[in-house]
Amino acid sequence: MKSKKILVFISTLLVIMLLSACAKSSNSQESATSSGEPQVSTTASAKSSAGSTITIAYSQGAGQTMDPHDAGDLTSASYAFALYDQLVTSGTEEKDGKTVGRTDKIVPSLAESWKISDDLTTYTFVLHDGVKFQSGNAVNADAVVYSFERAKDKGESGSLYTLANIKSVTKIDDKTVEFKLGAPNHLFLKYLATFSFSIVDPSVAKSNPDDYLTQHSAGSGAFILEKWDPATEAVFVANKNYWKGAPKVDKVVIKYVAEASNRELFLDKGDVDVALDIPAKDVESLSKKDNLTISSQSSNRIVYLGMNAKYKPFDQLKVRQAINYMIDQQKLIKDVAYNQASPLKSSISSKSPAFTSEGYEYKYDLDKAKTLLKEAGYEKGFTFDLTVNSSTQDYEDIAVLLKAELEKIGVTLNINKVAPAQYRELINKKSAAAYLGKYTSLVNDPSYHYGFLLDSKGASNYTGYSSKVVDDLLAKANVEPDEAKRTELYKQVQKQITADSPWAYLYESNLIAGFNKDVQGYIFYPDEIIRFSSLYK
């Protein structure tokens, strides 16, 4: 997913082992635990609290869409996981007495089992019996085929459809669906677990205008949409007939609270139960409050400064390199991230498979930056606008720090602080010469990450970066079944991108959220998407 996305989040070894175990059922390929393998049920959870409501304060808005095939931001992704199910899903594990999400562990969901052909290009899924959409219609093979046909024609899910190299989706019988791939894809099952491949009720979708699902739902998920105002809030009520068992909470209310100080105030007063995007500077003080729990989890979220080469002076490599030499990562981590972050040394997170910092030679060097600007013909400096999303205080702080540093080499940085909707519009159209961005890979693998961000055709390639060398390496790596060879190709990709410098690397940030003490069931997933169904109080 995307500075918006989200796009999480974690090794590919498990999937490689799975793919090599050809023509076996999913139960023999993945060790599904009792918490990971769903059971068909129409009874409410024993832990459900009658009349209970969880209110969550979001910083990025109340979501862009309810359509899972169009969703591209983390808020909308949370909605998709609440309203819809997928063929497979991410598992969990117990670690240090807590349940944590495993986006690298795939377990059954709507599909109770699957088989993989010897050549690794055909996947056959068998659906659970008795599962129904919220409309009462059966979840069957026709629904799966329709959902993927619909997904491939949408923007966000269409990009993932192409990345997955799906050639056909065919109904074998009411319970069985066959997927054929153009080539082996070591991430295929992980892709299926994302919200982009949610299964939609065909009868509801087809009987309404195409944009109906933007503001309505047609899923089989744990929650039903009660109301939604994109500017302020969304309300979900528990699906008491949910096939995996009713959620533990009766209602989830999403509030859009732009100001971090207000999110913290509402959390402290008990007006909201959960507050997302807590500023790093407040972690220490909030952690001392007896009524709150602060979670600061290391994730694969990267923060970077994007530079679009179609705008002068960023069309010159030496200018982009000069900006990189003015980045003091340790100062950013200390003064902006308050040590809730770590250095970023590549175009992917250090937690991503195949990560390497080889080729990264930048360190804060004012003289080197001045020399590069002089060689580029900008000895006297230049002026540029840096587009910043106003909903994220940390990024405003980054911009202020960078502005002060760049003045030392004669460069004037104007901070263009814009509302979230305008920010998305500017970067989507590649209209920002430079911008501060963040990205969390929903599937923690270079194939997914680069497929969206830095492939020349990537849906979230907001700098317009284009390199035939990188495109060719990615194309080769994406179909390479041997993990060691694939890793080497991705290392070459990283070194080339670092050399081309479309970004200035800033840091890898923690995911920070605040909870009232009475909130239970929060599961941290590396993709940063909250699953409402586990929450209760």
Dump pLDDT digits (tens) for 309-352. 999 999 999 999 999 999 999 999 999 999 999 999 999 999 89
In this structure, what CATH number is given to the domain that contains residue 397?
3.10.105.10
Residue 291 is assigned to a structural domain of this protein = no
Name residues whose C-beta falls within 8 Å of residue 273's C-beta, 6 or more positions apart in sequence: 54, 55, 56, 267, 515, 516, 518, 519, 537
**pLDDT tens digits for 345-377?**
999 999 898 999 999 999 999 999 999 999 999
Q: Are residues 505 and 422 in the same domain?
A: yes
Same domain, 335 and 242: no
Average of per-residue pLDDT across 447-462: 92
**Does any domain span residue 7?**
no
Q: Do 395 and 250 share a domain, yes or no?
A: no
Residue 410, domain member (yes or no): yes
Note whether 353 and 467 are same-domain residues. yes
Greatest mean pLDDT among 69-73, 409-413, 456-460, 477-481 lies in 409-413
Last residue of a domain, one of 240, 273, 306: 273
Same domain, yes or no: 195 and 316: no
Question: What is the b/e burial string over 215-250, where b = at least 16 CB atoms within 10 angstroms of the residue's CB?
Answer: eebbbbbbbbbeebebeebbbbbbbebbbbbbbbbb
Same domain, 304 and 203: no
Based on the domain organization, do 348 and 434 belong to the same domain? yes
φ, ψ (nearest 5 deg) of residue 412 = -100, 120
Does a structural domain hold residue 138?
A: yes
Within-domain flag for 286: no
CATH code where residue 225 lies: 3.40.190.10
Same structural domain, 218 and 366: no
Percent with pLDDT over 70 in the chain: 91
Mark out the alpha helices in 255-411 (DSSP H runs).
Answer: 260-269, 283-287, 317-325, 329-335, 366-375, 393-406
Note the residue count of the chain. Answer: 537
User: Domains in the chain: how many in total?
Assistant: 2
The CA–CA distances, whole Å, from 494 to 232, 392, 455, 472, 505 equal 40, 28, 12, 13, 12
DSSP string, 423-447: HHHHHHTT--SEEEEEE--SS-SHH
Instruction: Judge whether 185 lies within some domain.
Output: yes
- What is the SS3 assignment for 215? helix
Give residue-wise pLDDT tens across range 243-297.
Answer: 999 999 999 999 999 888 999 999 999 999 999 989 899 999 999 999 999 999 8
Beta-carbon-side half-sphere exposure of residue 374 (alpha carbons within 13 Å):
7
Phi, psi at 294, each rounded to 5°: -110, 125
Tell whether 378 and 458 lie within a shared domain.
Answer: yes
User: 123-150: buried (b, 16+ CB within 10 Å) or exposed (e) per residue?
Assistant: bbbbbbeebbbbeebbbbbebbbbbbeb
Give me the domain span that covers residue 335: 298-509
Q: Please check whether residue 237 is in contact with residue 152, taking contact to mean a CB–CB distance below 8 angstroms.
A: no
Query: 111 forms bridges with which residues in the sheet?
Result: 127
Q: CA 173, CA 130: separation in Å to the nearest integer?
A: 15
Domain boundary among 226, 257, 273: 273
176-181 and 88-95 beta bridge pairing: unpaired
Whether 357 and 345 have beta carbons less than 8 Å apart is answered as yes
Q: How confident is the model at residue 51 (pLDDT cuts 50, 70, 90)?
A: low
Q: Is residue 474 part of a domain?
A: yes
pLDDT digits (tens, 9 = 90+) for 503-528: 999 999 998 999 999 999 999 998 88
Q: Is residue 10 part of a domain?
A: no
pLDDT per residue as tens digits for the range 128-173: 999 999 999 999 999 999 999 999 999 789 989 998 999 999 999 9
Q: Are residues 137 and 172 in the same domain?
A: yes
Question: Out of 355-359, 392-396, 425-429, 431-435, which region has the weakest mean confidence (pLDDT)?
Answer: 392-396
Average pLDDT for 188-199: 97
pLDDT for the residue numbered 74: 87
Is there a single domain that holds both residue 369 and residue 485? yes
What pLDDT does residue 213 have?
97
The residues that bridge with 252 in the sheet, in sequence order, are 54, 236
The helix or strand, by DSSP H or E, that contains position 42, with its residue range, turns out to be strand 41-44
d(CA 464, CA 421): 20
| Same domain (yes/no): 389, 504 | yes
